[in-house]
Structure 1
Amino acid sequence: MALTQAELDAFTGTENIYQHSFGKINYTDGVKYLATEGQAFWLIDAIASHQTRQLLSQQDLQEFQLWQLTVSEDKSAVLTCQSDSDIEPVVRQEIPYTDFPLNSTKLYLVDKVLMLPSEY
C-alpha cells in the first residue's frame, strides 16, 4: 500500500519526539511515519544536513523553516527551504532520482522539531 496525503493529514499531534542521528534536529510521529512508509529517511537526513551555521545565521530561519519536496514526472526532485511560502527559497537541492511516493510534501521545522503541517 502506497503512502497517501490523507494518511499524513491524519496526524494532528505527536506522542513521541525522535532525535535524528546527526543530533541537529528532532522529529515527530508523523514524520517518522512519512519516512518509514515512504521509505524516505533520506529526506530527514537531507534537512538535517542543511542545518548549518550559515543557514541558521539568518534570523528568520532559526525558529521556523518551511521545507518542500517536489517530485517531477521523470522522478527527479527539488528540495527547498524558505522562511515563508511567499519568500524566495534559501536552500535548493536538486535530487536526480527518487522513488518518493507523493508528488510533493511539505514539512515544518519549528524550534528544531521537524513536523508535518497538520501537526503544527
Structure 2
Amino acid sequence: MENKDAIHLSQTLRTFTGTVNWYRHQLFRQFTYTDGIQFLATEAQCYWLIDRIFALQYEQPAVKIEPFQVWELTVNPDQTAMLTCGNGNDDTVYSEHISYTDFKLPKIRLFLTDSVLLLPTEY
C-alpha cells in the first residue's frame, strides 16, 4: 500500500505538462531533462535513476540506437526492482535487475527522445 508521500508524489507528477526549464546532466552533457524529471529526482531522491538511464546510452548499443525509449522502473515488495527499456512498440531492448532500492513509487515510466528525458505527461 502506498504511503502519503508516494500518493502525493504520484499526484504531483501528473500535473507536469511541458517544461519551462531544461536541466543539463553534469556527467552526460549531451542529455537534458525536464522540470518533471527534476521534481521526481529531488522529491524521490532518485538522481541515480537519471544517471543509470543516461549511462546505458553509452553502455548498451541496443539502447542507444532506439530514437524513442520507454523506461520503466518496477519496484517489488522486497525492495528489489526491474529497470527496463522499451522502444514504444512493446519490444523490450534492455532489462536490468536492481538488488535494492528505496524508490517511493511502485512503478514509474519515463520517456527518452531527442536526448531529453521526460515524464509521459510532458511528452
In the superposition, the TM-score normalised over structure 1's length comes to 0.90
CA distance in 2, matches of 1:75, 1:57: 28
Match of residue 106 from structure 1: 109
Deviation digits for residues 46-75 of structure 1, max 9, x if unmatched? 0001012713563xx1x2100000000000
Q: 1:12 aligns with which of 17, 23, 39?
A: 17
1:80 counterpart = 2:84: yes
Deviation digits for residues 6-48 of structure 1, max 9, x if unmatched? 1101000100011112224210000000000000000000000
| Unmatched segments (≥5 aa) in structure 1 | none
- Give the aligned CA root-mean-square deviation in angstroms: 1.5
Length, aligned pairs only = 116
CA distance in 2, matches of 1:86, 1:57: 17
CA distance in 2, matches of 1:56, 1:7: 29
Match of residue 38 from structure 2: 32
Amino acid across the alignment from 1:18: Y
Amino acid across the alignment from 2:62: L
Is the contact between residue 64 and residue 108 of structure 1 (CA under 8 Å) also seen in structure 2? yes
Same amino acid, percent of matched pairs:
45
> SS of the counterpart of 1:75?
coil
Is the contact between residue 2 and residue 38 of structure 1 (CA under 8 Å) also seen in structure 2? no
In the superposition, the TM-score normalised over structure 2's length comes to 0.87
